[in-house]
Structure 1
């Protein structure tokens, strides 16, 4: 009988220890999720700020009227450089090649190569339709961390559109 009591006490202590371990593990996981959520929110805010800064550099400010009717010398406004139209998923290979040529021209004109890789990816995403973004992320498994070089992303798209053309034949 005494052996049974000792066994029951042992099992109760084991169960208590497991519960404490489970509670501690759940608390650590919850803390990790909170940290991850905070980090993601901070990264999203940084991206929003970078995008706003980038857009501000592309949009020329309207000329302000001079005070007291005095005239200011005319300034040479920079030409507005328009990005290529958004690339759609149903584009043909030829349309993709035309789009890519426009993208490369745009990239050179805006000195995109001197910007951070994150800013380059932001610019690229503004020139891709939602279906293409979905295809890049889920079908072609392109990482979302903006670490892939721009040329590699364009080559992945190139292969995708070539494969689409070959399937249609």
Structure 2
């Protein structure tokens, strides 16, 4: 279902309807360069405006937020069936933030200034989707090429 959704707003609306999935979402770098462009989609996930402004990372289980890491510096392990999710962000200077969404040792974060999303099915132990949108490129969801 999500593969057909290319703009960030529609994609986030689609994510908000998912059940039986783990969703990891992070706002990275200068994600607010175009103002509140991501907010409506994130509000559909239950993210309040104040948290949107702070940025950070969220983990949702079956559509319910279970973990919120605020700001640009955080590090947290989150246990899942047969593994763990590790969410980390370091601020190197005012303009350089390094964010990682690591699932069982593989980093799925590839957008530096915008939104990264990883969707995982704990029952089948498969990544359903991982995508992002770079605020300086477009509002279209991009996917990393297979094998990268």
TM over 0.5: no
Greater Rg, structure 1 or structure 2?
Answer: 1
Q: TM-score, normalised by structure 2?
A: 0.25
Between Structure 1 and Structure 2, the one with more helix by share is: 1
